[in-house]
Amino acid sequence: MKVSFKLNGEDVTVDVEPNEILLDTLRLKLGIKSVKRGCERAECGACTVLLNGSPVYSCTLLTVQIDGKEVRTLEGIQDTPEVKALVSKFVEAGAVQCGFCTPGFIVTAYAMIKKGVEPTSENIKKALEGNICRCTGYKKIIDAVTKAIESVK
């Protein structure tokens, strides 16, 4: 099947199997490496992308479901002031260790910032609850997101 969508601002048409997940299409066919295969059950957030501006798990979304929609990955938002601030603050706060989960956290935090959610600790925890980090713990990540939001206000 042919599926057409906008990927990181560019129109894309790709041949996919009817049961092909978006994660595989992005990584294996389109070369997007920020999207990681983690749990494959929509629990870890390593595969998070933005679908029409909202974070979704690409591991449980069929590529045919995104026909005509817009997908943004970390590669497509990396030059924004919000992502630059997030990356900087993640490094400063020590919120990056192995880095496997970091793209999912950054994409999710970016969406939260763009939606204008008030940056309270509880709101940040709620926004990031679908992302798992096995290395850093969450305090440093929450601190990094808080400082990034403060720096882009």
CATH of the domain at 143: 1.10.150.120
Pick the last residue of a domain from 21, 48, 74: 74
Q: Are 92 and 119 in contact (CB under 8 A)?
A: no
- Show the domain range for 21: 2-74
Mean pLDDT, 10 residues at a time, the chain of 153 residues: 98 98 98 95 95 97 98 98 97 93 97 93 95 90 95 87
94 and 60 together in one domain: no
Beta bridge partner(s), residue 74: none
What is the CATH classification number for the domain harbouring 29? Answer: 3.10.20.30
Overall pTM > 0.85: yes
Q: What is the tally of structural domains in the chain?
A: 2
Q: Are 95 and 136 in contact (CB under 8 A)?
A: yes
User: Which single residue is written with the structure tokens 């490094």?
Assistant: 91
56 and 88 together in one domain: no
pLDDT of residue 23: 98
How do strand 54-57 and strand 2-7 relate by DSSP bridges?
A: unpaired
- 62's CB contacts (< 8 A; 6+ apart) are 18, 19, 20, 21, 22
37 and 58 together in one domain: yes
53 and 85 together in one domain: no
How does pLDDT run across 130-151, given as a tens digit for each residue? 999 988 879 999 999 999 999 9
Q: Which helix (H) or strand (E) holds 77?
A: helix 74-77
50 and 85 together in one domain: no
C-alpha atoms less than 13 angstroms from C-alpha of 128 in its C-beta half-sphere: 29
